Amino acid sequence: EVQLVESGGGLVQPGGSLKLSCAASGFTFSSYEMNWVRQAPGKGLEWVSCISTGGDTVYYADSVKGRFTISRDNAQNSLGLQMNSLKDEDTAIYYCARGSAWSAWGQGALVTVSS
Amino acid sequence: QTVVTQEPSLTVSPGGTVTLTCASSTGAVTSDYYPNWFQQKPGQAPRTLIYSTDNKHSWTPARFSGSLLGGKAALTLSGVQPEDEAEYYCLLYYGGARVFGGGTKLTVL
């Protein structure tokens, strides 16, 4: 069974850092590009970042560029999102999603940025 | 700043047909934008219905179809069921970047 499980969410102060992880199982992780998508409370979906199969190509939304870093460890079947200089507006549920066909989603991890 | 625009809300009767659209501020949407469509119900993660314009996943009900219509991406629901009441989002590709539309709240009434 294909599974994506996010972890690492929590409460952090503005200006702080947090790293999210997405553990993949049930498929050949290294064969899929991966995405992070977030959803602020009561708002719509916002694409955050994506990474190629080998990790050599990454893209970011303008709203997070320079503050967030996407990474992957194909040996550990894991996707990461390092979030620095966090702002109130980064408060959201963060989802990882598989591939260009968006064929699997995790259940999300809640990140709350608040003093 | 690229903007992807969807109808904020639509209402359809059970058994009816409805078309949701997805427009780009950059001009006509083509297959090069790889339109995707997602369904989200309250408290749940999104579920992908359509990818790359008109491709369905194994779990996508046959009543959902994707297309290009009048310079926009479109999602058509034929024979709407009560369980189709949800928020629907489109996603377009702009080279490496992806942009979601603001979502359409579909009410089945």
Res. B82 pLDDT band, cuts 50 70 90: very high
**Mean pLDDT confidence for A2-21:** 98
Residues 28-57 of A with CB under 8 A from B: 35, 37, 44-47, 50, 57
CA torsion B40-A9-A3-B20 (nearest 10°) is 20
**Mean pLDDT confidence for A39-57:** 98
Instruction: State whether residue A62 sits within 8 Å of chain B by CB.
Output: yes
- Under 8 Å CB pairs connecting chains A and B tally to 57
- The answer to whether A45 and B103 have CB atoms below 8 angstroms apart is yes
Hunting for tokens 């290009």 — which residue is that?
Answer: B68
- Report the residue count for chain B: 109
Average pLDDT of the residues of chain B:
98
- pLDDT reported for residue B14: 98
Q: In what order do the strands lie in the sheet with A3-7?
A: A3-7, A18-25, A78-83, A68-73
**Mean pLDDT confidence for A62-89:** 98
**CA proximity to A94, closest of A33, A21, A42:** A21
Nearest residue, CB atoms, B97 vs list A44, A59, A105? A59
- pLDDT reported for residue B81: 98
Q: Read off the pLDDT of residues B19-45 as tens digits, 9 standing for 90 and up.
A: 999 999 999 999 999 999 999 999 999
**What is the amino acid identity at position A26?**
G
Tokens of residue B58, six digits? 């194994």
Percentage of chain A exceeding pLDDT 70 = 100
- pLDDT reported for residue A42: 97
Q: Read off the pLDDT of residues B60-73 as tens digits, 9 standing for 90 and up.
A: 999 999 999 999 99
- The answer to whether A111 and A8 have CB atoms below 8 angstroms apart is no
- pLDDT reported for residue B33: 98
- pLDDT reported for residue B20: 98
**Mean pLDDT confidence for B2-25:** 98
> Which residue from B minimizes the CA distance to A107?
B45
